[in-house]
Amino acid sequence: MTELIQPQNTIAVLQKYHFQFQKKYGQNFLIDPLVLDKILKAAEIGPEDPVLEIGPGIGTMTQALSDAAQRVVAVEIDRHLIPILQETLSNRDNVVILQEDILKTDIRALSGQYFNGKPFKVLANLPYYITTPILMKLLESDVPITGITVMVQKEVAERMCSKPGTKDYGALSLAVQYASDPKIVSFVPPNCFIPRPNAHSAVAHLRVYDTPPVAVRDVELLFHVIRASFAQRRKTLQNGISHAPALSLTKEQAAECIEKCGFSPTVRGETLSLSDFAKLSDQIQEVLG
Protein backbone atom coordinates (compact mmCIF):
# COMPACT_ATOMS: atom_id res chain seq x y z
CA MET A 1 0.00 0.00 0.00
CA THR A 2 1.44 3.37 -1.03
CA GLU A 3 0.43 7.01 -0.71
CA LEU A 4 -1.36 6.56 2.60
CA ILE A 5 -1.54 10.35 2.84
CA GLN A 6 -4.44 10.19 0.33
CA PRO A 7 -7.70 10.04 2.36
CA GLN A 8 -9.21 7.23 0.28
CA ASN A 9 -6.17 5.01 0.92
CA THR A 10 -6.21 5.72 4.66
CA ILE A 11 -9.91 4.85 4.80
CA ALA A 12 -9.35 1.67 2.78
CA VAL A 13 -6.66 0.43 5.19
CA LEU A 14 -8.76 1.23 8.26
CA GLN A 15 -11.78 -0.57 6.80
CA LYS A 16 -9.74 -3.60 5.74
CA TYR A 17 -8.57 -4.15 9.31
CA HIS A 18 -11.86 -3.01 10.93
CA PHE A 19 -9.77 -0.61 12.96
CA GLN A 20 -11.45 1.04 15.94
CA PHE A 21 -10.01 4.37 17.03
CA GLN A 22 -8.87 4.43 20.66
CA LYS A 23 -9.76 7.70 22.33
CA LYS A 24 -7.28 6.98 25.14
CA TYR A 25 -4.44 7.14 22.59
CA GLY A 26 -5.62 10.38 20.98
CA GLN A 27 -5.53 8.82 17.49
CA ASN A 28 -5.92 11.23 14.59
CA PHE A 29 -4.28 10.25 11.30
CA LEU A 30 -2.90 12.91 8.95
CA ILE A 31 -4.43 13.00 5.44
CA ASP A 32 -3.03 16.26 4.05
CA PRO A 33 0.01 15.97 1.72
CA LEU A 34 0.92 19.66 2.12
CA VAL A 35 1.16 19.31 5.90
CA LEU A 36 3.25 16.16 5.52
CA ASP A 37 5.63 18.06 3.21
CA LYS A 38 5.96 20.87 5.77
CA ILE A 39 6.79 18.38 8.53
CA LEU A 40 9.45 16.66 6.44
CA LYS A 41 10.96 19.97 5.33
CA ALA A 42 11.13 21.24 8.93
CA ALA A 43 12.71 18.00 10.15
CA GLU A 44 15.49 18.23 7.52
CA ILE A 45 15.88 14.46 7.22
CA GLY A 46 18.90 13.39 5.17
CA PRO A 47 20.02 9.99 3.83
CA GLU A 48 22.51 9.60 6.71
CA ASP A 49 19.95 10.37 9.45
CA PRO A 50 18.52 7.75 11.82
CA VAL A 51 14.99 8.69 12.91
CA LEU A 52 12.83 7.76 15.89
CA GLU A 53 9.14 8.10 15.08
CA ILE A 54 6.70 8.12 17.97
CA GLY A 55 3.12 7.17 17.15
CA PRO A 56 3.36 6.09 13.50
CA GLY A 57 -0.35 5.19 13.33
CA ILE A 58 -0.89 3.33 10.06
CA GLY A 59 2.52 4.35 8.69
CA THR A 60 1.66 7.47 6.66
CA MET A 61 4.66 9.52 7.75
CA THR A 62 6.79 6.41 8.21
CA GLN A 63 6.63 5.71 4.48
CA ALA A 64 7.93 9.20 3.68
CA LEU A 65 10.60 8.97 6.39
CA SER A 66 11.73 5.60 5.05
CA ASP A 67 12.35 7.22 1.64
CA ALA A 68 14.35 10.07 3.16
CA ALA A 69 16.24 8.61 6.16
CA GLN A 70 18.93 6.02 6.74
CA ARG A 71 16.83 4.10 9.25
CA VAL A 72 13.49 4.59 11.02
CA VAL A 73 12.47 3.07 14.33
CA ALA A 74 8.71 3.49 14.74
CA VAL A 75 7.37 3.08 18.29
CA GLU A 76 3.62 2.44 18.45
CA ILE A 77 1.69 1.84 21.68
CA ASP A 78 -1.50 0.38 20.11
CA ARG A 79 -1.02 -3.33 19.39
CA HIS A 80 -3.99 -3.25 16.97
CA LEU A 81 -1.95 -1.03 14.64
CA ILE A 82 1.01 -3.42 14.42
CA PRO A 83 -0.50 -5.73 11.72
CA ILE A 84 -1.43 -2.64 9.69
CA LEU A 85 2.10 -1.25 9.97
CA GLN A 86 3.55 -4.62 9.01
CA GLU A 87 1.53 -4.43 5.78
CA THR A 88 1.97 -0.74 4.91
CA LEU A 89 5.72 -0.93 5.59
CA SER A 90 6.29 -4.48 4.36
CA ASN A 91 8.73 -3.49 1.60
CA ARG A 92 10.72 -1.05 3.78
CA ASP A 93 13.96 -2.73 4.82
CA ASN A 94 15.14 0.32 6.78
CA VAL A 95 12.11 0.43 9.12
CA VAL A 96 11.85 -1.26 12.53
CA ILE A 97 8.42 -1.42 14.20
CA LEU A 98 8.28 -1.65 17.99
CA GLN A 99 5.07 -2.11 19.95
CA GLU A 100 5.93 -0.14 23.09
CA ASP A 101 4.89 2.77 25.27
CA ILE A 102 7.50 5.46 24.61
CA LEU A 103 7.16 6.71 28.21
CA LYS A 104 8.36 3.29 29.40
CA THR A 105 10.99 2.86 26.69
CA ASP A 106 14.69 3.13 27.52
CA ILE A 107 15.63 5.63 24.81
CA ARG A 108 19.34 5.32 25.52
CA ALA A 109 19.16 1.53 25.01
CA LEU A 110 17.03 1.97 21.87
CA SER A 111 19.54 4.48 20.48
CA GLY A 112 22.43 2.12 21.17
CA GLN A 113 20.72 -0.91 19.69
CA TYR A 114 19.28 0.59 16.51
CA PHE A 115 21.36 3.73 15.86
CA ASN A 116 24.74 2.61 17.26
CA GLY A 117 24.72 5.70 19.47
CA LYS A 118 24.72 8.05 16.44
CA PRO A 119 22.91 11.41 16.66
CA PHE A 120 19.30 11.00 15.55
CA LYS A 121 16.14 12.97 14.90
CA VAL A 122 12.67 12.50 16.37
CA LEU A 123 9.27 12.93 14.72
CA ALA A 124 6.02 12.48 16.59
CA ASN A 125 2.29 13.07 16.50
CA LEU A 126 1.56 13.56 20.20
CA PRO A 127 -1.82 13.45 21.98
CA TYR A 128 -2.22 16.66 23.99
CA TYR A 129 -2.54 14.93 27.36
CA ILE A 130 0.90 13.30 27.21
CA THR A 131 2.77 15.86 25.10
CA THR A 132 4.68 17.36 28.02
CA PRO A 133 5.84 14.06 29.62
CA ILE A 134 7.07 12.75 26.27
CA LEU A 135 8.85 15.99 25.35
CA MET A 136 10.51 16.19 28.76
CA LYS A 137 11.60 12.56 28.53
CA LEU A 138 13.21 13.22 25.14
CA LEU A 139 14.87 16.47 26.20
CA GLU A 140 16.16 15.02 29.48
CA SER A 141 17.21 11.62 28.12
CA ASP A 142 20.88 12.54 27.64
CA VAL A 143 21.02 10.91 24.21
CA PRO A 144 22.27 12.61 21.02
CA ILE A 145 18.97 13.96 19.65
CA THR A 146 19.64 16.82 17.22
CA GLY A 147 16.06 17.80 16.41
CA ILE A 148 12.48 17.04 17.42
CA THR A 149 9.59 17.75 15.04
CA VAL A 150 6.17 17.27 16.58
CA MET A 151 2.50 17.62 15.79
CA VAL A 152 0.84 18.90 18.96
CA GLN A 153 -2.21 20.83 20.07
CA LYS A 154 -1.91 24.46 18.90
CA GLU A 155 -1.95 25.84 22.46
CA VAL A 156 0.91 23.53 23.51
CA ALA A 157 3.05 24.68 20.58
CA GLU A 158 2.37 28.30 21.53
CA ARG A 159 3.37 27.62 25.14
CA MET A 160 6.63 26.00 24.06
CA CYS A 161 7.59 29.09 22.05
CA SER A 162 6.26 31.80 24.40
CA LYS A 163 8.40 34.65 25.69
CA PRO A 164 8.44 36.32 29.16
CA GLY A 165 5.45 38.51 29.95
CA THR A 166 3.00 36.69 27.66
CA LYS A 167 -0.04 34.74 28.85
CA ASP A 168 1.25 31.42 27.49
CA TYR A 169 4.70 31.70 29.09
CA GLY A 170 5.35 29.19 31.85
CA ALA A 171 7.36 26.23 33.10
CA LEU A 172 6.94 24.32 29.81
CA SER A 173 8.28 27.30 27.83
CA LEU A 174 11.38 27.46 30.01
CA ALA A 175 12.00 23.71 30.06
CA VAL A 176 11.79 23.48 26.26
CA GLN A 177 13.86 26.64 25.71
CA TYR A 178 16.57 25.48 28.12
CA ALA A 179 17.15 22.41 25.95
CA SER A 180 16.22 23.63 22.48
CA ASP A 181 15.30 26.43 20.11
CA PRO A 182 11.57 25.85 19.37
CA LYS A 183 9.72 27.29 16.38
CA ILE A 184 6.15 26.84 15.10
CA VAL A 185 6.33 25.58 11.52
CA SER A 186 2.65 25.51 10.64
CA PHE A 187 -0.84 25.59 12.14
CA VAL A 188 -2.99 22.61 11.13
CA PRO A 189 -6.82 22.68 11.08
CA PRO A 190 -8.92 19.67 12.16
CA ASN A 191 -9.94 18.76 8.58
CA CYS A 192 -6.38 17.55 7.90
CA PHE A 193 -6.99 14.44 10.01
CA ILE A 194 -9.15 11.30 10.21
CA PRO A 195 -11.03 11.50 12.53
CA ARG A 196 -11.15 15.25 13.01
CA PRO A 197 -9.82 16.33 16.41
CA ASN A 198 -11.77 18.87 18.44
CA ALA A 199 -8.79 21.21 18.69
CA HIS A 200 -6.50 22.87 16.17
CA SER A 201 -2.97 21.48 15.91
CA ALA A 202 0.46 22.85 15.09
CA VAL A 203 3.75 21.49 13.82
CA ALA A 204 6.67 22.60 15.96
CA HIS A 205 10.36 22.02 15.39
CA LEU A 206 12.83 21.96 18.29
CA ARG A 207 16.49 22.34 17.37
CA VAL A 208 18.17 20.65 20.33
CA TYR A 209 21.17 22.49 21.78
CA ASP A 210 24.55 20.84 22.23
CA THR A 211 24.98 23.12 25.25
CA PRO A 212 22.14 24.95 27.05
CA PRO A 213 21.99 28.71 26.39
CA VAL A 214 22.49 29.52 30.11
CA ALA A 215 25.03 28.20 32.59
CA VAL A 216 23.69 27.20 35.98
CA ARG A 217 25.31 25.48 38.96
CA ASP A 218 22.47 23.06 39.66
CA VAL A 219 19.99 22.24 36.88
CA GLU A 220 17.66 20.35 39.22
CA LEU A 221 17.45 23.37 41.52
CA LEU A 222 16.82 25.66 38.54
CA PHE A 223 13.69 23.70 37.63
CA HIS A 224 12.52 23.52 41.23
CA VAL A 225 12.68 27.32 41.22
CA ILE A 226 10.88 27.57 37.87
CA ARG A 227 8.07 25.21 38.93
CA ALA A 228 7.64 27.03 42.25
CA SER A 229 7.44 30.36 40.44
CA PHE A 230 4.56 29.22 38.23
CA ALA A 231 2.71 27.00 40.72
CA GLN A 232 0.30 29.87 41.37
CA ARG A 233 0.68 32.54 38.69
CA ARG A 234 -1.04 35.27 40.72
CA LYS A 235 1.48 34.99 43.54
CA THR A 236 4.59 37.14 43.58
CA LEU A 237 7.88 35.37 42.97
CA GLN A 238 8.75 35.82 46.66
CA ASN A 239 5.60 34.02 47.79
CA GLY A 240 6.01 31.29 45.19
CA ILE A 241 9.55 30.30 46.07
CA SER A 242 9.14 30.73 49.83
CA HIS A 243 6.17 28.32 49.87
CA ALA A 244 7.84 25.61 47.79
CA PRO A 245 8.69 22.51 49.90
CA ALA A 246 11.46 21.56 47.48
CA LEU A 247 13.33 24.81 48.18
CA SER A 248 13.03 25.16 51.99
CA LEU A 249 13.39 28.95 51.85
CA THR A 250 12.04 31.35 54.44
CA LYS A 251 10.23 34.45 53.22
CA GLU A 252 13.20 36.52 54.34
CA GLN A 253 15.67 34.33 52.42
CA ALA A 254 13.48 34.52 49.32
CA ALA A 255 13.37 38.31 49.58
CA GLU A 256 17.15 38.44 50.01
CA CYS A 257 17.75 36.31 46.90
CA ILE A 258 15.38 38.41 44.80
CA GLU A 259 16.99 41.64 45.99
CA LYS A 260 20.54 40.39 45.29
CA CYS A 261 19.49 39.56 41.73
CA GLY A 262 18.30 43.14 41.27
CA PHE A 263 14.63 42.21 40.78
CA SER A 264 11.66 44.14 42.17
CA PRO A 265 10.27 42.76 45.49
CA THR A 266 6.88 42.38 43.78
CA VAL A 267 8.18 40.70 40.62
CA ARG A 268 6.25 37.71 39.26
CA GLY A 269 7.82 34.63 37.74
CA GLU A 270 6.09 35.15 34.38
CA THR A 271 8.23 38.25 33.71
CA LEU A 272 11.60 36.55 34.22
CA SER A 273 13.70 35.20 31.35
CA LEU A 274 15.60 31.92 31.40
CA SER A 275 18.83 33.77 32.25
CA ASP A 276 17.00 35.57 35.10
CA PHE A 277 15.93 32.21 36.52
CA ALA A 278 19.48 30.89 36.20
CA LYS A 279 20.76 33.90 38.17
CA LEU A 280 18.07 33.41 40.83
CA SER A 281 18.74 29.68 41.08
CA ASP A 282 22.47 30.25 41.68
CA GLN A 283 21.64 32.89 44.30
CA ILE A 284 19.31 30.49 46.12
CA GLN A 285 21.98 27.80 46.09
CA GLU A 286 24.38 30.29 47.68
CA VAL A 287 21.88 31.14 50.44
CA LEU A 288 21.01 27.51 51.13
CA GLY A 289 24.69 26.56 51.14
Say yes or no: 175 and 282 in one domain: no
Question: Quick check: 289 pLDDT over 90?
Answer: no
Are 263 and 167 part of one and the same domain?
A: no
Domain-ending residue, one of 175, 208, 241: 208
The per-residue pLDDT for 168 is 94
Indicate if the pLDDT at residue 285 is higher than 60.
Answer: yes
Q: What pLDDT, in 10s, does the model give residues 65-91?
A: 999 999 999 999 999 999 999 999 999
| CATH code of residue 92 | 3.40.50.150
- Number of structural domains the chain divides into: 2
CA distance 212 to 279: 14
Q: Does residue 27 sit in the same domain as residue 83? A: yes
pLDDT in tens, 21-76: 887 888 999 999 999 999 999 999 999 999 999 999 999 999 999 999 999 999 99
Same domain, 54 and 15: yes
1 part of a folded domain: no
Q: Residues 192, 225: one domain?
A: no
Q: Residue 283: which domain range?
A: 219-288
pLDDT tens for each residue of 143-167 = 999 999 999 999 999 999 999 999 9
On whether residue 127 sits in a domain, the answer given is yes
One DSSP character per residue, 202-259 reads EEEEEEE-SS-SS--S-HHHHHHHHHHHHSSTTS-HHHHHHT-TTT---HHHHHHHHH
Average pLDDT score over residue span 216-223: 94
Q: Please state the rounded mean pLDDT for residues 207-214.
A: 96
Averaged pLDDT, 206-228: 95
Tens digits of per-residue pLDDT, 126-139? 887 889 999 999 99
* Phi and psi torsions of 187, nearest 5°: -95, 140
The model scores a pTM over 0.85: yes
**Do 88 and 203 reside in the same domain of the chain?**
yes
Residue 80 placed within a domain: yes
Considering the chain, what is the average pLDDT of its residues?
93
Alpha helical stretches, state H, the chain = 7-16, 33-43, 60-68, 82-88, 107-115, 131-139, 154-161, 171-179, 219-230, 237-242, 251-260, 274-288
132 and 81 in a single domain? The answer is yes
Last residue of a domain, one of 208, 233, 258: 208
User: Quick check: is 213 in a domain?
Assistant: no
> Does residue 124 carry a pLDDT above 70?
yes
What is the rounded CA–CA span in Å between residue 120 and residue 96?
15
99 SS3 class: strand
Instruction: Out of 189, 208, 227, pick the residue that ends a domain.
Output: 208
**What is the gyration radius of the CA atoms in the chain, in angstroms?**
21
- 106 with 246, same domain? no
Q: Same structural domain for residues 146 and 194? A: yes
CA distance 1 to 169: 43
Would you state the pLDDT for residue 1? 43
Short-list 158, 192, 203, 202, CA closest to 28: 192
Q: Cβ neighbours of residue 91 under 8 Å, at least 6 residues apart?
A: none
Tell me, yes or no, whether 214 lies in a domain: no
Q: Is there a single domain that holds both residue 197 and residue 107?
A: yes
Question: Do 75 and 51 contact (CB within 8 A), yes or no?
Answer: no
Same structural domain, 244 and 120: no
